[in-house]
Structure 1
Amino acid sequence: MVARAGRTRLWVLIEHPGPWPHSAPEGVLPSRLVDRIEAVTGHVRLVLIRRSRARTVERPRWVLAWSDGTRHWMREGTATGYDELADLPFDTCAAGIEPDTGLPCHTPLFAVCTHGKKDACCAELGRPIVSALSTIDGADVWECTHIGGDRFAANIVVLPDGLYFSRLGPESARAVVIEHRSGALSLDHLRGRAALSQPGQAAEHAVRSATGIVAVDALEYVSETPSAESVTIVELRIDSRTFRVAVRAGAPRPAFSHGCRSGGTVAWNDWIVDSLEELPIL
């Protein structure tokens, strides 16, 4: 599952108590709002969130979270209705410009996919995780719609960093959240950092695994250069150390059935690290 996080830099989270159909957020929010977000250029993802026991919402909460992998910000607010959210500055936010709208949010948000109409695994495996995380004092935990990777359920995305943690159970999810709140990443369940490309995600995971550097905020710089034979050269500075990693896509795996009751099939490739070297300090 390493390096399989869907590419996203701007996250648009909107509170909606459900029910969530298979198509959600489409078919739930006003079409003008959805169209506005879908028209934005860049890596943008719209996600519905809810508290597990909420049945109605008088003033829905919204969250805008952006990260390019090394920098990030998050803003939040409430609305009197969904229509007014279409006026949020999505275009400039997607470019990384933090708006004046709402209030800055410095507490990490943990979104757990429980979108059962999309894939039953997400509900069956995700909801026990929400219950387990609700016992952690101060953790901002929400259920959310599809965030990608049903076959890796249960899935958590941590914002504003855009970190995916997957193949979780109640106890491992608690450990991931507790570690993150203490400033550390759980590499065993880290699927990837959504702000980076998949080769970049593979490179970060490889460097952290090789060095044992797990500080959440240790990543300082990332650059990518295509090379011969579909190899991507990724340079990263992590904890003031610079590394060069050569990453390539492996051969496609055969399609296989996945999901608790979805009946769907999926095929994908692994990302292979050909080399990893630490560069000398100049």
Structure 2
Amino acid sequence: MTTQKSSTNHQFCSVISKANGEDPIGSASTTHAWLVMEAALPWTEEHLHSDPILNEIHELFHKLDDRPASVMPIAIAPDKEYSVPGHIRVLYYQRPEDHFAQFSKQEFLIPESLISQFATAFTQAPQDLNQFAAYLQPDNHIRDLLVCTHGDVDVACSRFGYPIYQKLRQDDAATSTGKLRVWRCSHIGAHQFAPTLFDLPTGQFWGHLEPSILSVLVRRDNPVEHLRQFYRGWSGMTKFAQIVEREIWLQQGWDWLNYKKSGEVIAQDPIHDEWNADWAEVRIDFTSPDNSTQGSYFARVEAYAQVMTLFNSGHEQPLEAVKQYRVNQLTKTII
């Protein structure tokens, strides 16, 4: 079955995607670590190159982008409440191990005069930042929500992302007694799902967000089923494992976030590549928070439909067909 709606009256890619029912699951970026750094707006090429501090950050990000999925960079806009004059806040989130529940964090406040030194050290040995231990911040178990408002990449991100950022910043972060920070961030992929959000340290990606659903996402006090259509996936797994992980999460509820887990594709459609496969078989291993229960889920993911989407905003952009997937034959075994 193919669903299509006219793009005559729409220029935003996310409007087309949402109207045609494109499921965002499986679109979360996957990596071993995230480097999140403050960078003053605007994030234009001219500004990034003309400002010496921003240029150092920009060059570091370029070097990381050239490396295959080891560390992914994200810029965040300084905030009058969170930021410290003369310093750059750096959040370094890493997988603590292959089988894990959430990313571990190191947070630094680096003097601007040392940004070049930090960039060089991080490029050479990101696993060894001991020379910057004096700038390490205490781990206060702060949750960071990064909302993409990067209109220079796609106008949908600024048009739809900024109101979501404002609501979260004013309604939730402001009343969280310092336990929640909300940031404007640079591109985090898949702008056809704008407004998009990255939730750390859990590592969950969200898309097609609506103001009415934000309290459920932040407070986690309603059934997770309310969030099904907004979930892009968990960044600890790749595409097809993300699709299965959502189904498990919907069964297990919010406690699933505390389970250590890992996933792998054990068989896949040999005709198509990963992003266009007709089917895949997935195994997800899990361990309960108290280590009392271990087991595995096995599932088959199959394409069942196509919808039309727009990958970039603009009147002249072509609509493209994308496969939609569902989980079949989900079984659970306990060791």
TM-score normalised by the chain length of structure 2: 0.69
* Residue of structure 1 equivalent to 2:267: 227
Three-state SS of the structure 1 residue aligned to 2:208 is coil
Describe how 1:167-246 pairs up with structure 2 within 5 A. 167-179=208-220, 187-188=227-228, 189-209=230-250, 211-215=251-255, 217-227=257-267, 229-230=269-270, 231-237=280-286, 239=288, 240=293, 242-246=295-299
Q: Which amino acid aligns with 1:276?
A: L
Query: Cα gap change, 1:262/1:26 in structure 2, threshold over 3 Å: closer, same or farther?
Result: farther
Three-state SS of the structure 2 residue aligned to 1:8 is coil
Three-state SS of the structure 1 residue aligned to 2:257 is helix
Alpha-carbon contact 2:103-2:200 (below 8 Å) kept: no
Alpha-carbon contact 2:244-2:282 (below 8 Å) kept: no
Q: Which amino acid aligns with 1:77?
A: F
Q: Which amino acid aligns with 2:232?
A: R
Query: Cα gap change, 1:204/1:115 in structure 2, threshold over 3 Å: closer, same or farther?
Result: same
Describe how 1:70-89 pairs up with structure 2 within 5 A. 70-81=101-112, 82-89=115-122
Flag the structure with more relative contact order, 1 or 2, with Cα contacts below 8 A and sequence separation at least 6: 2
Q: Which amino acid aligns with 1:226?
A: I
Query: How many residues are matched?
Result: 276
Identify the range of structure 1 (221-230 vs 4-13) with the bigger mean alpha-carbon deviation: 221-230
Structure 2 unaligned regions, length at least 5: 1-23, 271-279
Three-state SS of the structure 1 residue aligned to 2:111 is coil
Q: Which amino acid aligns with 2:284?
A: E
Alpha-carbon contact 2:195-2:207 (below 8 Å) kept: yes
Q: Take 1:25 and 1:272, find their aligned partners in 2: how far apart are those partners?
A: 42
* Residue of structure 2 equivalent to 1:58: 86
Q: Take 1:262 and 1:123, find their aligned partners in 2: how far apart are those partners?
A: 17
Displacement after TM superposition at 1:99 (Å): 5.1
* Structure (1/2) with the larger helix percentage: 2
Alpha-carbon contact 2:109-2:137 (below 8 Å) kept: no
Three-state SS of the structure 1 residue aligned to 2:260 is strand
Query: Cα gap change, 1:91/1:179 in structure 2, threshold over 3 Å: closer, same or farther?
Result: farther
Q: Take 1:145 and 1:119, find their aligned partners in 2: how far apart are those partners?
A: 11
* Root-mean-square deviation over aligned CA pairs: 3.5
Q: Which amino acid aligns with 1:48?
A: A
Percent of aligned pairs sharing the same letter: 19
Query: Cα gap change, 1:241/1:177 in structure 2, threshold over 3 Å: closer, same or farther?
Result: same
1:165 aligns with 2:165: no
Structure 1 unaligned regions, length at least 5: none
Q: Which amino acid aligns with 2:118?
A: L
* Residue of structure 2 equivalent to 1:250: 303
Q: Take 2:215 and 2:48, find their aligned partners in 1: how far apart are those partners?
A: 28
Q: Take 1:201 and 1:26, find their aligned partners in 2: how far apart are those partners?
A: 37
Q: Which amino acid aligns with 2:75?
A: L
Q: Take 1:175 and 1:153, find their aligned partners in 2: how far apart are those partners?
A: 18
Query: Cα gap change, 1:278/1:216 in structure 2, threshold over 3 Å: closer, same or farther?
Result: closer
Alpha-carbon contact 2:202-2:257 (below 8 Å) kept: no
Describe how 1:25-104 pairs up with structure 2 within 5 A. 28-30=54-56, 32-38=59-65, 40=67, 42-51=69-78, 58-67=86-95, 68=98, 69-81=100-112, 82-89=115-122, 93=126, 100=130, 101=133, 102-104=136-138
Displacement after TM superposition at 1:247 (Å): 3.5
Q: Take 1:271 and 1:91, find their aligned partners in 2: how far apart are those partners?
A: 40
Query: Cα gap change, 1:26/1:256 in structure 2, threshold over 3 Å: closer, same or farther?
Result: farther
Displacement after TM superposition at 1:164 (Å): 0.4
TM-score normalised by the chain length of structure 1: 0.81
Query: Cα gap change, 1:45/1:185 in structure 2, threshold over 3 Å: closer, same or farther?
Result: farther
Three-state SS of the structure 2 residue aligned to 1:161 is coil
1:116 aligns with 2:151: yes
Alpha-carbon contact 2:36-2:91 (below 8 Å) kept: yes
